[in-house]
Chain A
Amino acid sequence: MTQEHNQDSNPIRDAITQAIDQNPVLLFMKGTPEAPGCGFSARTVAALQALGVPFAAVDVLPDARIRQELSALSNWPTIPQLFIDGELIGGCDIVTEMYASGELAQALGIESDGAQAESELATASVEPAPLSIENRLA
């Protein structure tokens, strides 16, 4: 049985807001960190993994409304979108540029150490997505 929803409620937007609030490092992407669905998402995941930082990820592909609501909320038109401590950092271009300059490590509060980042490339931990937004609407 499907639950009735108030016409004014916006469960997708609420779930997005909640995910941003609850995850210090959150990536909205196409596909998953293990199987990115787009080169831009893949490059952004690679930058985070190279720093060995745990992050949560939400796949926007299962429901087009996730992307619509996210872009309306963040005022940013493309995917991926990286949030750190509830704040939009940017998409693939900005994240990779910040990674190269060391600013990404700084924003994540970790010491920039090239050798360490290199060695952790393969073993970076990835937290599973905290919620499956699409499942709430099934």
Chain B
Amino acid sequence: MPSAEEIRERIETAIPGARADVQDYTGGGDHFQATVVAPAFAGLNRLSQHRMVYDVFGDEIGGPIHALSLKTLSE
């Protein structure tokens, strides 16, 4: 079961220049809420920005990570 801290590190490692704030929504280790700020999001619509974050976790979304609620910003 991933921790909020692990999710933050993985997002920041995978997306260049990203800063993430990740909360464990329920304390149960499977519903997370993340705000991600990354210059790499510039020029992308929200759908593409969210996909970039989801892509970090692949099949884990909907599996071990039941839900990852996102807010993305380019700066």
Contacts and interface: CB of A to CB of B under 8 A. Distances in A.
Interface of A: 40, 67, 71, 75-78, 88-94, 97-98
Contacts of B62: 67, 71, 77-78
Interface residues of B, number: 13
Contact of A93 (B59, B61, B71): B71
A97 B47 contact: no
Given A78-B61, A90-B46, A40 B67 contact: yes
Interface string B37-57: 000000000110011001000
A78 B67 contact: yes
A77 B71 contact: no
A89 B46 CA distance: 9
A57 B17 CA distance: 38
